Amino acid sequence: MSDEPYLVINDLTAGYGGPPIIEGISLEARPGAITAIVGPNGAGKSTLMKAIAGVVRPSSGEVKVCGQVTTGLSADKLVRHGMAYVPQVANVFPSLTVVENLEMGGYNRKSGVRERIEELYELFPDLRPAARRPARTLSGGQRNMLAMARGLMSDPKVLLVDEPTAGMAPKFEAAVWQHIVQVRQTGVAVVVVEQNTRRTLTHADWAYVLVLGRNRLSGSPAQLLNDEEVVALYIGGGA
Ligand SMILES: Nc1ncnc2c1ncn2[C@@H]1O[C@H](COP(=O)(O)OP(=O)(O)OP(=O)(O)O)[C@@H](O)[C@H]1O
Ligand SMILES: [Mg+2]
């Protein structure tokens, strides 16, 4: 069971009504692993996440969560199937407090909201002292942690996170990654989209490289980083 992927994408094509933005994408994400989707600006990473998360309706292909076909289901229904999605922007309610944001994330729970919030304060210690503050007063890094914690309120099997470290100072970037690694340890299948390929590969268990809406290649970070051509074309030398 533990080896069965929690998320399986087969030949997924999606866009915004015009020509497809992503085409023929297949990937898997396993429990207790970080699966990275990397690639240049405009490659279609966010569109792929939206197509998986039910924000954009795929025109063909299949999405399966824990063996169940969920293609085309709304984001709301997908939560019940064990999917949580943290978008690249607008991922918290700025005027609501931290605890209110967490409660919203747990809206579909029948019980255990308090207990789950406590567990998430353990995982994201910065949030506890900020519980009664509006989310807008948090730093960018803390806000992204709140967004992840909010997604985790529903006890998802699959957590999709779009660019959790975008525009962050290296210190905060490191803290966010540390938290993502801790979420992996809880057995969730974490799917992370990032532009900073090299940094992402140091944390990921498996990576897919997206270029112009297509899955150009995939492999373990070690495989990708040891291939000079791959590094020259898609990864580069920077940190
Ligand atoms: N709502 C939309 N309507 C129409 N086209 C869109 C929309 N959102 C994105 N696109 C187009 O889809 C393409 C892929 O965009 P997407 O945001 O998926 O890329 P990305 O890889 O996430 O880029 P970034 O690294 O900048 O976040 C781009 O050409 C973009 O202009
Ligand atoms: Mg994006």
pTM metric for this prediction: 0.94
Average pLDDT over residues 35-43: 93
pLDDT at 235 (0 to 100): 81
**Lowest-pLDDT range, 35-44, 65-74, 167-176, 205-214?**
167-176
Q: How far apart are CA 65 and CA 217, in angstroms?
A: 23
Average pLDDT over residues 65-77: 93
Q: How far apart are CA 195 and CA 23, in angstroms?
A: 19
Ligand nearest to the CA of 48: 1
Confidence of residue 2 (pLDDT cuts 50, 70, 90): low
Residue 4 Cα to ligand 1 middle (Å): 31
What is the percent of the chain where pLDDT is above 70?
A: 98
Residue 191 Cα to ligand 1 middle (Å): 18
Task: Give the position, in ligand 1's atom list, of the atom nearest the Cα of 88.
Answer: 27
In terms of Cβ atoms closer than 10 Å to its own Cβ (0-12, 13-18, 19+), residue 203 is middle
Q: 3-state SS of 180-196?
A: HHHHHHCCCEEEEEECC
Task: Give the position, in ligand 1's atom list, of the atom nearest the Cα of 48.
Answer: 18
Ligand 1, atom 4: nearest CA belongs to which residue? 16
User: Quick check: 236 pLDDT over 80?
Assistant: no
DSSP 222: H
Q: How far apart are CA 151 and CA 203, in angstroms?
A: 20
pLDDT at 237 (0 to 100): 65
- What CA–CA distances, in Å, run from 79 to 34, 51, 229? 19, 14, 40
Assess whether the C-beta atom of 156 lies below 6 angstroms from ligand 1.
Answer: no
Assess whether the C-beta atom of 37 lies below 6 angstroms from ligand 1.
Answer: no
Higher pLDDT, 76 or 97: 97
Compute the radius of gyration of the chain from its Cα atoms: 17
Beta strands, E only, the chain: 7-14, 22-29, 33-38, 60-65, 68-69, 83-86, 158-162, 189-194, 206-211, 214-219
Ligand 1, atom 24: nearest CA belongs to which residue? 41
**Lowest-pLDDT range, 30-34, 73-77, 152-156?**
73-77
Q: What residues contact residue 232 under an 8 Å CB cut-off, 6+ apart? A: none
Please report where in the chains the tokens 């801790």 appear, as a residue: 182
CB distance 147 to 91 below 8 Å: yes
Higher pLDDT, 238 or 192: 192
Residue 155 Cα to ligand 1 middle (Å): 29
CB distance 148 to 161 below 8 Å: yes
As a whole number, the mean pLDDT across the chain is: 92
pLDDT at 239 (0 to 100): 47
For the segment 119-140, what is each residue's pLDDT rounded down to a tens digit? 999 999 999 999 999 999 998 8
Confidence of residue 163 (pLDDT cuts 50, 70, 90): very high
Average pLDDT over residues 177-200: 93
Residues in the chain: 239
pLDDT at 120 (0 to 100): 95
Q: How far apart are CA 209 and CA 43, in angstroms?
A: 9
Average pLDDT over residues 192-214: 92
Confidence of residue 1 (pLDDT cuts 50, 70, 90): very low
β-bridge mates for residue 27, sequence order: 9
Q: What residues contact residue 112 under an 8 Å CB cut-off, 6+ apart? A: none
201: three-class secondary structure by DSSP: helix
Q: How far apart are CA 191 and CA 180, in angstroms?
A: 10
Fold of 7-235: Rossmann fold (3.40.50)
Ligand nearest to the CA of 40: 1
Average pLDDT over residues 96-111: 93
Q: Where are the alpha helices (DSSP H) in the chain?
A: 45-53, 75-80, 98-105, 113-123, 140-152, 170-185, 197-201, 221-225, 228-230
Confidence of residue 50 (pLDDT cuts 50, 70, 90): very high
User: Quick check: 231 pLDDT over 90?
Assistant: no
Residue 192 Cα to ligand 2 middle (Å): 11
Instruction: Tell me the CA end-to-end span of the chain in Å, nearest whole number.
Output: 36
Residue 162 Cα to ligand 1 middle (Å): 12
